[in-house]
Structure 1
Amino acid sequence: MRCLFYSIASILLLTFAFGVPAAGALTASTPDSVNTECPVSGQPVKAGMEVETKGGNIGVCCGKCKAAVEGWSETKKAEFVATFATQDGEASPEAEAAASWDGDPYLLTTCAASGRPIDVKGTPTTKVVDGRELKFCCGGCAEAVAADPAKWLEKVDKAQIAAQAPIYPMDTCCVSGEPLMEKNDAGEMAYIGTDVIVKNRLFRVCCAMCAKKVTAEPDAFALQLNAAVMEQQGKDYVLEACVVNDKGDINKESAKAFVVGGRLLKTCCGGCEAKVHADPTTYVAKVDAALAAQREKAAASAGK
């Protein structure tokens, strides 16, 4: 019901404020911004809402998002603007990549069918099922899941929710903005949302309507989550050096920062970033261990 009200209110607001927009009118960048979608909310940018940078201005949708982007480091702002550089009037490959999401890698260490370690029989079998990467201990398991995905994937979803929920970067619905937490009878904040896995990524929403929207059009919401991950985990990054090279400097100009499976990873160079994408499970596990230690330390401090 909340989402229905939200959707109707949004439609009425846009209708009265702008009339009926021409196709694509709400997705065009403003004359003063390099981007078409707000990097925080994923919503269309609004004229007059820009954050100035040396290479170009970053468009946002509202004052709250503007404040969030203004809090970015100058390096992060420059990297964002650089992705929208043009080549002979066409968007650069970096810009196109920044505006799309192909799903997350399968990061569980157990077979999507049998539950056994994926390397129990040697090199794991990788198969894309319904647009989603999955890994298996053998070809037989891969074929079984491909033949009847619904029979097998519920337990995979549950395992991925358990792995990603502790590091989820937002406490509001990624579609409607409705809160996902409220006080229970004991006076403690409790989660009241709905968990949805799309292409191995956890999305937390407030209702079934928002769940359908995320499932149908996940790209913008995934990019929104990535921006939130960069913001949240970047404030107190868990590793002091490159996730690949323990001696690599993650503060130098050639360093890279990117999101894999809801985790922020930093490398000292593009070469190390390529190694992460070639073997994400190994390096995400390293970050997960550091994040778990960080949470335990915070819990211990809170209990004192």
Structure 2
Amino acid sequence: MDEPLGGMGTPIKVMVGDKPIYLCCKGCIKKIQAEPAKYLAMVYGSSNQASVPAGTEQVREGIFKVVSADAPFIAAQKKCPVMDEPLDAMGGPYKVNADGKAIYICCPGCAKKIAAEPRKWLAVLKSQGVDAPMIR
């Protein structure tokens, strides 16, 4: 459950009730089956929307859907800094808040690494000539 989607091959889709959860490998299926409510909460988050920037739809805690205003920044960034894949390679792009700046990612699985070390990932973008915009 700690690997980014695609890090161990094609993601595996598991349905928990009527909601899909994508896993990094078959080894994680037993974890989902043992505690489905825990993993649904991890993937879909709580209903608390207080931390969501105005006008932004949250996918899960700390991960936001992109809007048309993000298009020029997505075009400039092109690739996920974590996976070094095109931003649309795994269902994205998505947007995360890294110290007040927007980093675009290919999948929700990459958000955990950015949250743990936002300055590292901002520096990666900077080294690629990309200035992350302020989060909106």
Q: What's the TM-score once normalised by structure 2's chain length?
A: 0.41
Pick 1 or 2: higher relative contact order, CA cutoff 8 A, min separation 6.
2
Greater strand percent: which structure?
A: 2
Q: Looking at secondary structure, tell me which structure has more helix per residue.
A: 1
Per the normalisation by structure 1, the TM-score is: 0.22
**Structure with the greater alpha carbon radius of gyration:** 1
